[in-house]
Amino acid sequence: MRFHANTTNVGTSSAALSAASGAPDSNSRVLWIKVSARTGNGNVVYFGHSAVATGLGYELSANDSLELSFRDQGGSVALSELYALGGASSQNLDWAVILE
């Protein structure tokens, strides 16, 4: 297992977490993830799969977080399947993962 933490700066177009500078390989398998909308965000961030859109995804306001354990459900997902979208430009989503 490996641990990695990063930040994805998102705007009004969806962005794969794997596209963030310094992110692990997009095919890396995620066992656990925690995402947090950064304190200084002035708008919401949506977290989800590639079809994430305004109002479609898990909505995170500043300081909100979400933790998912795919391992507890008996599996994993590719990092490339996880996306974020900002309610406005320059919103930050901090994330930490445990990878296979």
pLDDT in single tens digits along all 100 residues of the chain: 999 999 999 999 999 999 999 999 999 999 999 999 999 999 999 999 999 998 899 999 999 999 999 999 999 999 999 999 999 999 999 999 999 9
Which backbone phi and psi does 45 adopt, to 5 degrees?
Answer: -125, 135
Q: What is the DSSP letter of 89?
A: S
Q: Domains along the chain?
A: 2-99 (2.60.120.770)
| pTM (predicted TM-score) | 0.94
Measure the CA–CA gap between 58 and 74, rounded to whole angstroms. 22
Measure the CA–CA gap between 81 and 33, rounded to whole angstroms. 12
Q: How many other β-carbons are positioned within 10 Å of the β-carbon of residue 19? A: 12
| Closest listed residue to residue 82, CA positions, set 72, 62, 96, 100 | 96
